[in-house]
């Protein structure tokens, strides 16, 4: 009886471990070029932007060469900043993240296509717009941004290497495909002039 009970306990433990492993499988949160978000258990294509989640917690690939504390924060709660040209609050938000030493991705909203994609993400066109993991912050309130960055584990002062640079900002929506123009037809040469007889040369109209 004791042997049977022991075997049953071992079997149940194995089943629980299998269930836990299944629940903790990686799920990818993929953002399509037009801004739409979808979830999949398949690794994304290299051209796709994705945030992975394991057991419900967001995970992303952190840049190499970062201190452990900062790398952990970037992996769990990646930061994305949405900005526009000639937007003073956007510049202030970028400066806040840079001064604090937060690695972030910047997406610009400057075209009609960008605006449509951005509205599907945020619901309106309020900028700047910041995401920290799944947390969304509309507009710039420095104290609020600082609070959420601290809660996400980002150090209060910069720990970035001196040579670290964030990637250049990229448009939120891909540029529209060029419209194919109809090829111009080659110009036809003008017809050669036809020599016509001078009526004055044969006033009688005699034919030969």
Q: Are strands 170-171 and 104-108 parallel, antiparallel or unpaired?
A: parallel
Res 65: pLDDT: 82
In 10 A of CB 160, how many CB atoms? Answer: 19
- For 72, which DSSP code? H
For 132-152, the pLDDT digits (tens) are 999 999 999 999 999 999 999
Res 188: pLDDT: 74
Instruction: Please list the pLDDT of the chain residue by residue as tens digits (208 residues).
Output: 544 444 444 444 444 444 444 444 455 556 655 556 555 655 555 444 444 443 444 444 566 689 999 999 999 999 999 999 999 999 999 999 999 999 999 999 999 999 999 999 999 999 999 999 999 999 999 999 999 999 999 999 999 999 999 999 999 998 777 776 666 666 777 776 666 655 565 555 544 3
- CB-neighbour burial class of residue 191 (10 A; exposed 0-12, middle 13-18, buried 19+): exposed
For 13-35, the pLDDT digits (tens) are 444 444 444 444 455 556 655 55
The β-bridge partners of 53 are: 27, 58
Res 41: pLDDT: 58
In 10 A of CB 67, how many CB atoms? Answer: 13
Res 63: pLDDT: 67
Handedness of CA 111, 103, 138, 59 (dihedral sign): positive
Sheet holding 79-83, edge to edge: 135-138, 129-132, 79-83, 104-108, 170-171
Res 85: pLDDT: 95
Predicted model pTM:
0.58
Token pair of 140 as six digits: 């710039």
3-state secondary structure of 28: strand
């Amino acid at each position: 009886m004791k042997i049977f009970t022991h075997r049953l306990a071992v079997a149940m433990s194995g089943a629980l471990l299998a269930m836990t492993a299944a629940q903790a499988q990686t799920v990818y949160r993929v953002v399509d070029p037009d801004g739409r978000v979808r979830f999949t258990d398949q690794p994304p294509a290299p051209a796709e932007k994705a945030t992975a989640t394991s057991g419900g917690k967001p995970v992303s690939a952190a840049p190499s060469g970062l201190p452990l504390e900062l790398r952990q924060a970037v992996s769990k709660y990646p930061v994305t900043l949405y900005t526009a040209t000639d937007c003073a609050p956007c510049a202030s938000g970028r400066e806040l993240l840079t001064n604090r030493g937060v690695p972030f991705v910047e997406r610009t909203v400057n075209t009609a296509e960008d605006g449509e994609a951005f509205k599907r993400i945020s619901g309106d066109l309020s900028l700047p717009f910041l995401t920290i993991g799944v947390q969304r912050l509309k507009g710039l309130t420095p104290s609020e941004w600082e609070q959420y960055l601290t809660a996400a584990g980002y150090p209060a002062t910069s720990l970035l290497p001196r040579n670290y640079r964030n990637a250049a900002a990229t448009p939120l929506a891909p540029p529209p495909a060029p419209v194919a123009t109809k090829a111009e037809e080659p110009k036809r040469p003008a017809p050669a002039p036809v020599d016509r007889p001078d009526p004055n040369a044969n006033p009688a109209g005699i034919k030969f």
